[in-house]
Structures are given as structure tokens and as C-alpha cells.
Amino acid sequence: MRKQGLDPCTAACAICLEGPLDRALLEQALGRVAERHEILRTTFRLLEGMKVPLQVVEEPGTQSPRLVLLDEPDLEPDQILARLEEWACAEPFDLDRGPCLRALLAGCSATVHLLGLALPALCCDEAGLAGLVRDLGLCYAAGPGAGPPGEEIPQYIDLAEVFNQIAESEDTRAGRQRWAGVQASGAERLPFEGGVAGTSRFTPRVSVTRLGKGETSALEDLAREHQSSVEAVLLTCWQVLLWRLSGGSPPLLGVRCSGRTFAGLEHGIGLFARYLPLRPELAGELGFDQALQQVGRALAEAVKWQDYFLRSGAGEEPQAWACAFERVEPAPVTRAGGLEWRVAARRVCID
């Protein structure tokens, strides 16, 4: 994909800033965030003879992002994401040298601005974007010339090593065996799926359907009625649809889990999220309530054992999921430095 000049696997968000904004202070805060989080100044160098890039943490102050101003006052949040995607296509992320964090700013009025942030999905997931916004607000609130807040933060490169040890240690063999033989197969296809030419570019597209308040309330009522969650209800609906479309043999489903199984990782910046294989055994005689119970149990079991799942062996290419499912929680609104920081749109492609 890098040879094609594309960066389809990105994490991007549009933040609505309400209040009197100091642009110079915002640019300083972006630099301080990069100083605090090593993953925001990490480069990925593929050395000769290596199949996996080497992660190199660059010195503080060398990877500060530039704040690009847009003279487009009528932009919507989704349009900010589109501008970030156009930037990535015209000028792909330089993973070898960085910087990897990009920022766009559009002024909608004297007191309302849209800030767009983007970075490679190697560096961040949905929850990480929320953590990035939170920390950016803290650095902005610290004021001009102030150092980063004194709060101790976990560094992704250290945590990734811990997760790798958990997944590969001899002591965790029993956990890995929970997933033995459960892998996506390249042969799995969806009904009516068209062929793709070998030279086709991977260009993800998004189709959005918004639920009204009535539909949302109905989902929440259904989840409460069955002592379940909205996530399990939606996942069950998706599984039933795939089961019907496939004639009773649905493909293995990749279900996204947060990967943040340790305390203190709620606001961590990094790629913690992962997709886990799920294929509950549905049958035609099951009612929806029974299917919901079965899917809910399978989901809870997958979340419990998520730290032990390896997508592929060393040196192997992971198979793509024919279908996937994820539910993203709304990012909390942050108030810092006299501004309200609200994530108005997010788009993350990591797998």
C-alpha cells in the first residue's frame, strides 16, 4: 500500500473547539503532546533483511506536528476527515522519518473552530484518539511556555512488549490454546461477493446510516429486557443477517475488542484494539432471545481471553476478515483552557 502512495490504514478525528482559541498556544500544545507520548514521535524503519519494521523513538522536540490552517469556514466535521484523507493520498505519511501526527484547523466563527488530527493506525485506535484529545486539552490549559503536565503516563512501546510476552510466553500456553484452530480463512467469502483484480488498490469507503432517537431507545429497551447490552443486540442482528445470507454457514467474524485490559490504559495512546474471531453456532429453530444469549456468551468469552489471541504466527501474513463488527463509544467532552473539546467525527481503519 505504501508503494501505491496510499495510507488507507489511518486514525483520524475532527474536534469541535468552542470558546476563544489561541492558535499559537494550540500549536505549542501539539508539540508538548508529542513530547509526552513516545508513540507520537516513533518512526518505523524497515532495514535490509528484516520483515518487521524497527520502531525507533525519536528525541523530544524533533517530531512536533505543523498546524495547517484552512480558509474554509463552512466545513463540516466529515469534510475535515475528507481533507485529511486527501492529504494522506497526496503526501503519504513518512513512517521512516516522521512526523506522523498531522493537524488541520478551520475557523467556523470567532469562537468555533474545527481541528482535524490524523496519524497512521500503527500509532492509534479509537480510544487512543479520545486520549489524544484529552491530553491535548491538558497541555493547552497548562499555558504558554509551560512544561507537560506532571501526570505519569504509560508508554505504548513498553506496554506492547508486555502484551507480546503475555501472548508468547510458555506460561500462557493454556490461554493461547483457547484460540487454537480459530483463524480467518482466505477462502471464506460473502454471498454475491464480486472478484477483485490482483492490481486493484485498497481504497476503503464508508456508508453511514444514522439511527433516530426512537430506534436508539428501542435498542436500549430490548437490551434491558434481555439483561444484555446494546453491543450484544447489534452483534446478534449482524450474525443472524450473515447466517441468512450465507444459507446457514456464515464466515468467521472479526469482533473488535479494546485491548485495554490493564488498569490505567483508558486514556493511553497507541494501537491496543484488536479483532477477535467469533462464530456462534446459530440454528434455524433458535428464537432471537436464545440467539442473543448465545452471542452474548461468545462475546464475553472472547473478551475474557483477548490477551492470548495471536492473529498470525511469526513471519506469517494475517488473513483478512470477510466480515467484522465493532461498536465505538462516544468520546467524552473535555473542558480545558477555556475551551470545550468535543470529538465530532472519527474514522479509524486498523485491520
Per-domain boundaries in the chain: 10-159+330-348, 170-189+211-325
C-alpha cell at 183: 483463524
Average pLDDT over residues 189-200: 67
Residue 217 dihedral angles phi and psi, to the nearest 5°: -65, -40
CA 163 distance to own-chain centroid: 18
For domain 10-159+330-348, give the CATH superfamily. Chloramphenicol acetyltransferase-like domain (3.30.559.10)
- Environment class of residue 177 by beta-carbon count within 10 Å: exposed (0-12), middle (13-18) or buried (19+)? exposed
pLDDT at 5: 46
- CB neighbours of 86 closer than 8 A, spacing ≥ 6? none
Q: Which residue's C-alpha cell is 483457547? A: 178
**pTM of the prediction?**
0.87
How far apart (Å, rounded) are the C-alpha atoms in residues 237 and 289?
A: 11
How far apart (Å, rounded) are the C-alpha atoms in residues 140 and 259?
A: 29
CATH classification of 170-189+211-325, choosing from 3.40.720.10, 3.90.1170.50, 3.30.559.30, 2.120.10.30? Answer: 3.30.559.30
From residue 328, alpha-carbon distances to 39, 130, 230 in Å are 22, 11, 11
Give the pLDDT confidence of 127-156 residue by residue, as tens digits.
Answer: 999 999 999 999 999 988 776 667 778 889
Where does the chain show beta strands of DSSP type E?
10-18, 42-45, 54-57, 67-70, 102-107, 112-120, 253-257, 274-278, 323-325, 334-336, 339-348
Give the pLDDT confidence of 73-117 residue by residue, as tens digits.
Answer: 888 888 898 888 888 777 888 889 989 899 999 999 999 999 999
Average pLDDT over residues 238-248: 87
